[in-house]
Amino acid sequence: MKIQSFLLIALCSLAALTASAQTRNDLSIPHLEKHGMATQLIVDGKPFLARAAELNNSSASSLEYMKPLWPKLVAAHLNTGLATVSWELIEPEQGKFDFRLVDGLLKEARANDLHLVILWFASWKNGKSNYQPLWVKTNQERFPLACSEDGKSMPTLTTLSDANRDADTHAFAALMRHLREVDGKKHTVLMIQVENEVGLLGDTRDYSPVANQAFAGPVPKELMDYLVAHKDTLIPELRDVWATNGFKTAGTWTEVFGPGKPAGMAIPVRTLSPPLTEQEHETGWRNLHWPVDEIFMAWNYARYVGQVAAAGKAEYNLPMFVNAWLQQRDHAWPGTYPSGGPVPQVHDLWRAGAPAIDILAPDLYVPEFEELCGRFTRSGNPLFIPESRAGAQGVANAIWAFGTHDAIGFSPFGIDRFAGSDLELIHAYDVISQIAPLILAHQGDGTMTSVLLDNGGAPQTVRLGNYNLEARFSSRSFGGVSNTPPERVAGLFISTGPDDYVIIGRGMNVYFTAATNPSDSVGLATVEEGVYAGGKWIPGRRLNGDETPEWKALRFRSDTYSIQHVKLYRYH
Ligand code: DGJ
């Protein structure tokens, strides 16, 4: 090699190394930051609330297909789209990368003033391996698959292969390097989801020869050290398993965590009743079944995905998350939902094995929305919901998650199908976009909360500041609107002064009682309905009389979410 070429290569490598080292501590790029008890996504120096939606899996593979969608996303008041970038399309030939599609997505997103969260579909998508390039898919000698107990190969790359992990890592690092180069100053891309709903489907654990060997061996020291160091703060489900087996600090997987699935037992697609009893069917989806198998898989997925993420972050240090296909009724046993994915009972395994992952995120379609948000925010895990339902129910859940859990963002799945037609989402995202600066300013400091109200359900009372607020579902409405509210509505309350509140609500009445000096009676001093424009409150109607039932409650219209400002006073 000529000396000039050598110097050029050395200079380029040095520049790349310096650039990637800089991104590690660069607070000008999107990053997570603590704000009181909350964790916020900071974009261009300001906290950001993601009014997001996820595209269908294949949409972002064609810029042509995307063309008519962009304006619909904007019209739906989204500020962020979740879009797939797949390994097969960026590295069709080993080592030859093609980022034209990525660049096209960035260009269109910017032209529409939208941000992107990129979903890295690579080794796994929903427990299976479909998105790896053909040169990986067709070479199982080099890129081995997981096996079920009966010895059959599954259509799923095994976690226990350096070749699998390194090939994915190499491609992901190239993607992140490219993003740094083309977006490191523009910040269109906010976060990255690494893989999609990982875990093994079809059996409780990988039974390939290499996996069997690892399973028969000792629990890795790094994991044991983590458990010992975090013994008092472990997720209770995991701590219980460890306790039941005597808090051993060394041993094989089954010595430390107990026995796995009984030999020869096949895992059904769904856990119905039978094979479960009625009782188990109702309750079994909250329990751990053969925990050692799921713990073993969680550790191995976390190690693999953690390494992929770390290599990507070394190139461009964006926040990274993984998403979970949840354990649920009909899918109670590991293997009927992906075994080893980041479900709540194995969050510690993910924290220990994948420190480069910032957020463990739920794909939240189940009716137990509040319970799952609670289980996903234990141990300070920030809440970001990359997949959920839209419609009135989804919108209520989103508002509640913003108010109660300081959620970073909410993203119903499949926006292609309902962009333009889901008026519930459009109206709610409009209201949230108006009030987002206030929500963000109040995150994490105890001055904001929210309730969910179901038709026919009990009223909800919360204490906020100097008052107790009781919210009651109400289908009555005055002021020119008479729709029946949907079955579920949300109320979000922000305390803006000793006697002042800003409230988003719908189809509900809100009553106040004094929490300090409880013998005081509380009256409504002034009630305004209005909108925010450019962060400034623009009052509309002054509400009183029939619009404030019994002259002591706020009444929220039933047809859509609206914002009210209330000032209270006390009398004796
Ligand atoms: C969950 C997956 O994560 C998504 O990619 C998508 O396949 C949806 N399910 C479909 O409902």
**Residue nearest to ligand 1 atom 2, measured at CA:** 126
In a domain, 93, yes or no: yes
Give residue for tokens 């989801």.
193
The bridge status of strand 50-54 relative to strand 80-86 is parallel
The Cβ of residue 158 has, within 10 Å, a number of other Cβ atoms equal to 26
- What tens digit of pLDDT does each residue of 317-350 get? 999 999 999 999 999 999 999 999 999 999 999 9
**Mean of pLDDT over the chain:** 95
Report yes or no: 92 and 133 within 8 Å, Cβ to Cβ. Answer: yes
Give me the amino acid identity at 514. A
Q: How confident is the model at residue 384 (pLDDT cuts 50, 70, 90)?
A: very high
Query: pLDDT at position 19, please?
Result: 55
Pocket test for ligand 1, best of 363, 389, 415 (most atoms within 8 A of CB): 363
pTM for the model stands at 0.95
Query: pLDDT at position 483, please?
Result: 73
Pocket test for ligand 1, best of 54, 323, 389, 413 (most atoms within 8 A of CB): 413
- Which two tokens mark 208? 């390939």
CATH of the domain at 426: 3.20.20.80
Query: pLDDT at position 5, please?
Result: 46
Query: pLDDT at position 11, please?
Result: 45
Query: pLDDT at position 217, please?
Result: 98
CA–centroid distance, residue 56 to ligand 1 (Å): 8
Question: Considering its fold, how many domains does the chain have in total?
Answer: 2
How far is residue 133 from each of residues 92, 163, 164, measured CA to CA in Å?
6, 14, 12
Kindly report the backbone phi and psi dihedral angles of residue 44, in degrees, each rounded to the nearest multiple of 5, phi listed first.
50, 45
Query: pLDDT at position 514, please?
Result: 98
- What tens digit of pLDDT does each residue of 83-136 get? 999 999 999 999 999 999 999 999 999 999 999 999 999 999 999 999 999 999
CA–centroid distance, residue 410 to ligand 1 (Å): 15
In a domain, 432, yes or no: yes
**Residue nearest to ligand 1 atom 4, measured at CA:** 57
Q: What is the b/e burial string over 32-51, where b = at least 16 CB atoms within 10 angstroms of the residue's CB? A: beebeebbbbbbeeebbbbb
CA–centroid distance, residue 340 to ligand 1 (Å): 17
Q: At what angle do helices 3-24 and 291-315 cross, to 10 degrees?
A: 120
CA–centroid distance, residue 382 to ligand 1 (Å): 21
What whole-number percentage of the chain has pLDDT above 90?
A: 92
In a domain, 1, yes or no: no
Residue 404: burial class (beta carbons within 10 Å; 0-12, 13-18, 19+): buried
In a domain, 13, yes or no: no
CA–centroid distance, residue 17 to ligand 1 (Å): 37
Q: At what angle do helices 100-111 and 162-183 cross, to 10 degrees?
A: 40
432 and 460 within one domain: no
Pocket test for ligand 1, best of 197, 201, 328 (most atoms within 8 A of CB): 197
The binding-site residues of ligand 1, defined as CB within 6 angstroms of any ligand atom, are 57, 126, 196-197, 363, 387, 413
Query: pLDDT at position 1, please?
Result: 44
Helix, strand, coil share of the chain (percent; to 5) = 35, 30, 35
306 and 350 within one domain: yes
215 and 121 within one domain: yes
Query: pLDDT at position 8, please?
Result: 41
- What tens digit of pLDDT does each residue of 386-401 get? 999 999 999 999 999 9
254 and 107 within one domain: yes
**Residue nearest to ligand 1 atom 5, measured at CA:** 57
Pocket test for ligand 1, best of 196, 198, 322 (most atoms within 8 A of CB): 196
Q: Give strand pairing partners of 110.
A: none
Query: Domain limits at 511?
Result: 448-571
The Cβ of residue 565 has, within 10 Å, a number of other Cβ atoms equal to 18
